[in-house]
């Protein structure tokens, strides 16, 4: 299988390319880090590189929450226009299936239940509550404490920042493409990905990488809110395996036409505070400092029910959280 990997020189893309090679496939990389001409929004260039491919792993994207609303047009240009161009080129050339790098952020807050009212979707957290240190959302009907749970793929999308909105829009664009072409798209909703090669010391780096960078400088990791935010941390090698497995399954007719959303995360639920503690222990660094600071675009708890990926693809994350120590040398 000859596979175009957009963003193939990036953090996840490099591992996808390696996985494809290990399994005897032929990756073709489109990434501006390797060639300035490789702009994912340039239709003629994307067509040129895609020609002769059998499938697409579309990973190229501007990531992170963004600094402020002045980022909005750049996110849309890179993520949504880029996705539209890749899909148009695939339609023009008859290339498919597509594995699309979506994200857990499309859900907004995760799954919650009220002890009185049952399953509940809380509204965005109020600034006054966050400033007062009230970080957990309450039932909007009775004010009771909500119990967080695992979010399934059939949960409604509720993006709460610009990056999240572009990832949700990418899934909608993929659905339109699939209807027009009869093709299959695996919308892989990545949870918190970590591992060697992660971006460091930028506003768009993942929290694990930011903590590791602080420890490398001899500083304590600074944990926002109270550290109780629940997440699934998943190793980049597990994510790469999911991308390739999805393409193989779709190519063999194992995915129905249309978009199949799949959560790609660890079966283990970990708090951000605990992850910082593990990093400090594994890397022999200073203990984390809980700051109480917050970012409005962040959600409190978002953890995945990944059973569909195991059922549909036979994929399951296998790397333990202790492998996060690889960040010291990655």
Give the three-class secondary structure for 24.
coil
Strand order in the sheet with 118-120: 118-120, 111-114, 147-151, 303-304
Give the three-class secondary structure for 236.
helix
Domains parsed from the chain with CATH numbers: 2-109+150-197+233-265+304-318 (3.40.50.720)
Calpha distance 78→80 (Å, rounded): 6
Give the three-class secondary structure for 100.
strand
Give the three-class secondary structure for 48.
helix
Kindly state the tokens that stand for 92: 């023009």
Task: Output the tens digit of pLDDT for each of the chain's 330 residues.
Answer: 999 999 999 999 999 999 999 999 999 999 999 999 999 999 999 999 999 999 999 999 998 765 578 889 999 999 999 999 999 999 999 999 999 999 999 998 889 999 999 999 888 888 999 999 999 999 999 999 999 999 999 999 999 889 999 999 999 999 999 999 999 999 999 998 888 887 765 544 578 778 888 998 999 999 999 999 999 889 999 999 999 999 999 999 999 999 999 999 988 888 999 989 988 988 899 999 999 999 887 889 989 899 999 999 999 999 887 666 665 544
284 — phi, psi (to 5°)? Answer: 55, 45
Length of the chain: 330
- The predicted model scores a pTM of 0.91
DSSP 242-292: HHHHHHHHHHTT-S-SEEEEEEE--SS-EEHHHHHHHHHHHTT-PPPEE--
Q: Over the range 93-121, which residues count as b (16 or more CB within 10 Å of their CB) and which as e? A: bebbbbbbbbbbbbbbbbbbebeeeeebb
Bridge partners, 289 (sequence order): 222
**Is there a contact between 191 and 266 (Cβ–Cβ < 8 Å)?**
yes
**Is there a contact between 199 and 186 (Cβ–Cβ < 8 Å)?**
no
């Amino acid at each position: 299988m000859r596979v175009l990997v957009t963003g193939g020189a990036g953090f996840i893309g490099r591992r996808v390319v390696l996985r494809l090679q290990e399994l005897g496939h032929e990756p073709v990389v489109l990434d501006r880090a390797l060639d300035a001409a490789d702009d994912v929004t340039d239709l003629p260039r994307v067509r040129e590189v895609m020609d002769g491919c059998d499938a697409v792993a579309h990973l190229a994207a501007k990531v992170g929450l963004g600094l402020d609303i002045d980022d909005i047009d750049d996110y849309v240009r890179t993520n949504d226009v880029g996705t539209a161009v890749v899909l148009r080129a695939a339609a023009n050339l008859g290339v498919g299936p597509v594995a699309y790098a979506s994200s857990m952020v499309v859900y907004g807050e995760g799954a919650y239940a009220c002890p009185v009212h049952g399953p509940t979707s809380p509204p965005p957290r109020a600034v006054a509550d966050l400033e007062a240190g009230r970080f957990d959302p309450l039932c909007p009907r009775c004010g009771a404490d909500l119990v967080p749970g695992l979010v399934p793929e059939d949960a409604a999308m509720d993006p709460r920042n610009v990056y999240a909105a572009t990832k949700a829009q990418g899934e909608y664009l993929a659905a339109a493409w699939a209807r027009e072409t009869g093709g299959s798209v695996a919308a892989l909703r990545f949870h918190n990905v970590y591992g060697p090669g992660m971006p460091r010391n930028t506003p768009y780096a993942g929290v694990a990488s930011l903590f590791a960078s602080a420890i490398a400088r001899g500083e304590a990791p600074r944990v926002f809110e109270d550290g109780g935010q629940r997440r699934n941390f998943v190793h980049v090698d597990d994510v790469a395996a999911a991308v390739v497995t999805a393409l193989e399954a779709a190519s063999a007719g194992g995915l129905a036409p249309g978009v199949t959303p799949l959560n790609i995360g660890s079966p283990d639920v970990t708090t951000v505070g605990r992850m910082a503690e593990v990093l400090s222990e594994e890397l022999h660094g200073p203990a984390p400092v809980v700051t109480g600071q917050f970012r409005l675009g962040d959600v409190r708890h978002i953890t995945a029910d990944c059973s569909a990926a195991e059922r549909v693809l036979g994929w399951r994350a296998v790397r333990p959280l202790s492998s996060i120590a690889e960040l010291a040398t990655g």
